[in-house]
Chains A and B, each alone.
Chain A
Amino acid sequence: MELLNLSIRELNKLFITKKTKPSELYSEIFNRSASSEAALHAHLSLFEETNLDKAKKSDERFSKSENVGLLDGIPLAIKDNINIKDEKTTCSSKMLSNFVSPYNATVISKLDTEQTIYTGKTNLDEFAMGSSTENSAFGLTRNPWNTDYVPGGSSGGSAASVASRSSIAALGSDTGGSIRQPASFCGLVGFKPTYGSVSRYGLVAFASSLDQIGPISKSVDDARIVYSAISGHDSLDSTSINDEQIELPFEKNATIGIVKELMEDGISEESKKEVEKVIDILKQKGYNIKEVSLPLIKLSISIYYLIAPAECSANLARFDGVRYGLRVDGKTSYEMMEKTRAEGFGDEVKRRILLGTYALSAGYYDEYYGKALRARKKMVDEFSTIFKECDYLISPTTPTEAFKAGEKTNNPLEMYMSDLCTIPANLAGLPAISIPTGLSSNNLPLGVQIMSKPLTDNSLLDFSEMLEKELEFNSTPEGWSK
């Protein structure tokens, strides 16, 4: 059982030294995910049959020393808004409950060449819209640390899967914090890479200018390994970038900024304390630390809730019952489309489509969407200025620890506030990571977020790994450690 707590590098070593085999690891993972399902509902599907074959082929490669890399035979869970050929991609929506993808997302093609095994598809808020995984048409996911609590969202299934040791690591997608917030709620590492560094081809779009795929894992090193495998330029994604990574100063030469606006009202004392803990560690190590101000950060939620719904209102227009997915019959084509959309989408998705449609309407565009675009541009400029004097920015990942299931479902605005700290990185396209730092008085995990300028993903991971070692957080929730 201890196998499930190991890192990717450790597991790879065991495979190479023949102390264990990928098929043995997979059997344990499968047993775990099957047993965690009743308590957590992290997964929407589990691929047992095909995976046993894949794991056995991996065994053979290791026995012949033909293994291809660190991810060979490693079971990863995939968020159910990322297409795997011939498997369902439901996006936790009734709309796509029967949709089987005829093609692979680019990240899946890349992991295929690494011979990765996919344990299954994980639960999410419908079309990745939400912060608790309660907006799933197929039932909510629970937090492995305490099943009364939400795992966060929208990649809550991926986080619960990794935290419950039902997969070694997982892919999530992050539009406003959907990787970092659930990672923080579940005591894990969650990494949202620089916008454009991981291809979005095959990721079902929520808000195209903000979406980014990234890993959720037990350690920074695991996140790095998965990120290395899935990143890189993709000719199928016009927004994919092809630029070299920029190296940031390391150790004492680096300057750390503490974002003033994310240490004020709306942030719990416990969350602030975690940041202070990190500041103390960095001070002791001799880093230069200063408080910085980015006034526009206070507007991020307003900006985000115009831009993301506007893009989603168009991105989700294709779900009409004409070519695939749910179809509800009507007397005319239009009636069919209307009924399909009325029945296929959940409330939160409808709320955002309506909001976005309104923000783009003639006569309102300039006042809402246009203004949000201009504010976003200014915010990007603010970050550029700050990054001239700071290498890394530190803040809480979330304003509070995980909240209880049902606690915020009737108050969308309060739910939206839980993404206050994470949204700015999406608006500015920055790489951002959440690492676990400690537990709250309720014995729930807390984390801090570190952001850096675009294209410094590798430096950010190195810096976070240094911090991770100092923090010595035991990331195993009770009940799932063995």
Chain B
Amino acid sequence: MNLKPTIGIETHIELNTNTKMFCRCRVVDTEEPNVNLCPTCLGLPGALPVPNEKAIRYITLLALATGCSITKKGMFHRKNYFYPDLPKNYQISQFDLPVGENGNLEIVIDNEKDYVEIERVHMEEDTGKSSHEGSGRIDSATSTSLDFNRSGIPLVEIVTKPVIKSSKEAVAYIEELRQLAIELEISEGKLEKGNLRFDANISVAPSESNELGTKVEIKNMNSLRSLERAIDFEIKRQSSALENGDIIIQETRHWDESKETTTSMRSKEGSADYRYFSDPDIPNMVLPDEFINQVKESLPSLPHENRNKLMETGLGLSDSNVLSKSEKWIFELYFEVFNNTKDSKASFNWITGELQGQMRKLEIKSLPNWFSANLLSDVIKLIDENKISFTSGKVILEELIQMDTTPDEIAKRLDLYQENDEVAISKIVNEIIDNNQDIVERIKNGEDKLVGFMVGQIIKSSGGSINPGMAKEILSKELNL
């Protein structure tokens, strides 16, 4: 039986506003529990919500950046369910009038562009955080501790349509979404801090079927690695069940990181009834055209636009994708170096390879202030002009990171400039030919690989200052090869 998986992803992004969604408590990054609280985010009797305008702006930014149509007449709804870390036992969310609908996001997968359709982008408030003792689950915990610092932090939820076809595509989608949030400056995008959290809905159906299979929701994936593995596991689990003639039940399953399996949390016979209704504490929201236009104008260059700009410099899609997801300074450095050198491949390789490699080795996160794009450009130019070897370039770069100096100064000091004078090189070449007549004979008899040996000898006798390309060229000429 040929089977095809279909995946939909719900992502929550924590917005980096100064204050919470419905109260003026500051959002502070702290390990100390229950310090950022007020009557509203603790759900005390009589407390009321007042929406955070900045959060609405941020969500509108994301909706516009994903090409969604904006719902001008928005509404906050109450989503009713009981859970100890949900202070009001309802979450203020959006139901039938989300901020954005029907968008799409360009992603890069297997060196090709693809598009993930977005169903909706809406806002909601975060819950508190539960820590269950004695068990990972609330039903079997011996005790549960609650921290409400997170309660009321604004979240944006992005829901895709069921269009994702593989775990690889799912990962590419999350990477793209994360980068988008960073470019929009609405989130730090740190997965390890829970800035982005995602659930996946997975179903498997016969390849020829036009209908989707029964969907299973997977929760508790907190890294891209676990997202990929959980999806792969679940596709395999469902496929073999179908092949054995079993029925897939609609349920929520928990990804167990240590066992690398999914286990059943609760079955969803029909869907849970959240009894959504418009929150009477918040008047209906109307986003004026003026506001929407203003937000539109403030949109920065988006990851897919950055990729296109990078491809215009001559980079391939894959390299462009890597750079579009790098830190901002790397992205900017690339363009400066490229503008100086007009060598896209070398600019890319030196920045993503050598420069970042050296920084990792030296354990530094940012470049010293004296380091500029011009210095790196000069190194690349010296290599391109055959004035120094690639290896010398690496030596120079390593010093440039640690010392306020110039490539020229280092090359002179370490005697790294290559001999490019044809007459001088010919002299050395002829000396080596004279001293290695036996080898020359063998080359002439067809042992081509010995050319390399000769070139090596030439460079060695010059103390490394001869450009290998030129040495080979002159040798070939002298030997009439």
Contacts and interface: CB of A to CB of B under 8 A. Distances in A.
Interface of A: 81-83, 89, 91, 96, 99, 101-103, 105, 200-205, 207-209, 235-239, 310-311, 313-314, 317-320, 322-324, 332-334, 337, 357, 360-362, 365, 369
Contacts of B271: 362
A116 to B, nearest CB: 19
B297 interface: no
Contact of A208 (B51, B273, B281): B281
B45 A334 contact: no
A86 B203 CA distance: 54
A292 to B, nearest CB: 29
B84 A320 contact: yes
B48 A238 contact: yes
Contact of B46 (A201, A209, A313, A361): A201
Interface centre among A91, A238, A311, A369, by most chain B C-beta atoms within 10 angstroms, is A238
Interface of B: 39, 42-51, 78, 80, 82, 84, 87-90, 138-141, 144, 146, 271, 273, 275-277, 280-283
Given A238-B281, A239-B281, A332-B138, A318 B88 contact: yes
A318 B277 contact: no
Contacts of A365: 275, 277
Contacts of A209: 280
A244 to B, nearest CB: 18
A360 B80 contact: yes
Given A323-B87, A334-B139, 12 more contacts: A91-B45, A101-B44, A103-B39, A201-B47, A204-B45, A239-B281, A239-B283, A317-B89, A332-B138, A333-B138, A333-B144, A361-B275
B46 A204 contact: yes
B131 to A, nearest CB: 12
Nearest to A363: B273
Contact of A314 (B44, B49, B277): B277
A311 B139 contact: no
A366 to B, nearest CB: 12
A96 B89 CA distance: 17
A334 B48 contact: no
A1 B44 CA distance: 41
A314 B80 contact: yes
Contacts of B90: 314, 317
A317 B88 CA distance: 6
Given A83-B45, A311-B280, A322-B146, A235 B82 contact: no
A320 B46 contact: no
Secondary structure at chain A's binding surface: helix, strand, loop or mixed? loop
Contact of A102 (B39, B139, B144, B280): B39
Given A333-B138, A362-B275, A369-B277, A201 B48 contact: yes
B266 to A, nearest CB: 12
A239 B285 CA distance: 12
Contact of A337 (B39, B44, B47, B84): B84
A310 B42 CA distance: 22
A318 B280 contact: no
Contact of A105 (B46, B51, B139): B46
Contact of A333 (B50, B84, B281): B84
Contact of B45 (A99, A207, A320, A332): A99
A83 B39 CA distance: 11
Contacts of A317: 80, 82, 88-90
Closest 6 interchain pairs by CB? A317-B89, A209-B280, A208-B280, A360-B275, A204-B45, A202-B46
Contact of B87 (A102, A318, A333, A360): A318
A237 B139 CA distance: 37
A178 B478 CA distance: 110
Nearest to B143: A333
Contact of A318 (B43, B48, B49): B43
Contacts of B280: 207-209, 239, 311
A185 B280 CA distance: 30
A244 B271 CA distance: 47
A320 B82 contact: yes
Nearest to A322: B84
Contacts of B281: 205, 208, 238-239
A318 B82 contact: no
Contact of A310 (B48, B82, B277, B282): B277
Contacts of B49: 238
Contact of A203 (B46, B89, B141): B46
Nearest to B89: A317
14 contacts: A82-B46, A103-B44, A105-B46, A201-B47, A204-B45, A238-B49, A238-B283, A318-B45, A322-B146, A332-B138, A333-B144, A357-B275, A361-B273, A362-B271
Contacts of A362: 271, 273, 275
Contacts of B43: 318, 323
Interface centre among A103, A105, A203, A357, by most chain B C-beta atoms within 10 angstroms, is A103
A409 B277 CA distance: 31
Interface centre among B45, B48, B51, B273, by most chain A C-beta atoms within 10 angstroms, is B45
B433 to A, nearest CB: 88
Contact of B82 (A99, A101, A208, A334): A334
B51 A238 contact: yes
